[in-house]
Structure 1
Amino acid sequence: MTGRAAYRWAVLGLIAVCVAVSWTVIKLRAHDADRPPPPTGPRPAFQLPFTCGEVWTLTTYPGHDDFDIDFFFTGGPTGGRTVLASAAGTVTWAGWSATLGDGQPAPPGSSGTRGGLGYGVIIDHGGNWYTEYGHFAAVPKVRTGARVTAGQPIGVVGHTGSTTVDHLHYEQLDDGRDPKRTRGNGDKVEALFDGVPSGITSDDSSPDQTRTSRNCAS
Structure 2
Amino acid sequence: MSAREIYRVTMLGIIVTCVIVSYVVLARRADGHPQQAGPRPAFQLPFPCGESWSLTTYAGHDDYDIDFFFNGGPSGGRSVLASAAGTVAWAGWQATLEGGAPAAPGTVGTRGGLGFGVIIDHGGGWFTSYGHLQTWPEVKQDQKVPQGRLLGHVGRTGSTKIEHLHYEQHDDTRDSKHTRGTEDKVESVFDGVPSGITSDGSAGTGPIRTAGPVSPSVNRTSRNCP
TM-score between both structures, scaled by the size of structure 1: 0.83
Q: After superposition, what is the alpha-carbon deviation per residue over 1:108-151, rounded to whole angstroms, capped at 9, x for unaligned?
A: 01101111000000000000000000000100000111000000
Aligned residue number for residue 206 of structure 1: 215
Aligned residue number for residue 7 of structure 2: none
Aligned residue number for residue 125 of structure 1: 122
Indicate if the aligned counterparts of 2:51 and 2:221 stay in contact, CA closer than 8 A. Answer: yes
Indicate if the aligned counterparts of 2:34 and 2:125 stay in contact, CA closer than 8 A. Answer: no
Structure 1 runs (4+) deviating above 6 angstroms are 33-36
Distance 1:113 1:183 in 2: 21
Aligned-partner residue type, residue 217 of structure 2? D
What is the aligned length? Answer: 190
Aligned residue number for residue 159 of structure 2: 162
Shift of 1:106: 0.5
Aligned residue number for residue 9 of structure 1: none
Shift of 1:32: 2.4
Shift of 1:49: 0.1
Shift of 1:181: 1.3
Shift of 1:39: 1.7
**Stretch of structure 1 that moved more, 194-203 or 96-105:** 96-105
Q: Greater Rg, structure 1 or structure 2?
A: 1
Shift of 1:38: 2.4
Aligned residue number for residue 184 of structure 2: 187
Of 193, 197, 204, 1:196 maps to: 193
Aligned-partner residue type, residue 211 of structure 1? R
Aligned-partner residue type, residue 166 of structure 1? E
Aligned residues: percent identity?
Answer: 66
Aligned residue number for residue 152 of structure 1: 149
Unpaired runs of 5+ residues, structure 1, are: 1-27
Shift of 1:100: 1.2
Task: Name the SS for the 2:117 alignment partner.
Answer: strand
Indicate if the aligned counterparts of 2:90 and 2:118 stay in contact, CA closer than 8 A. Answer: yes
Alignment partner of 1:111 is 2:120: no
Distance 2:50 2:28 in 1: 45
Indicate if the aligned counterparts of 1:50 and 1:213 stay in contact, CA closer than 8 A. Answer: yes
Task: Name the SS for the 1:50 alignment partner.
Answer: coil
Aligned residue number for residue 58 of structure 2: 61
Aligned-partner residue type, residue 212 of structure 1? T
Alignment partner of 1:143 is 2:130: no
**Stretch of structure 1 that moved more, 76-85 or 101-110:** 101-110
Shift of 1:33: 6.8
Task: Name the SS for the 1:171 alignment partner.
Answer: strand
Distance 2:75 2:146 in 1: 23
Distance 1:180 1:58 in 2: 29
Aligned-partner residue type, residue 123 of structure 1? I
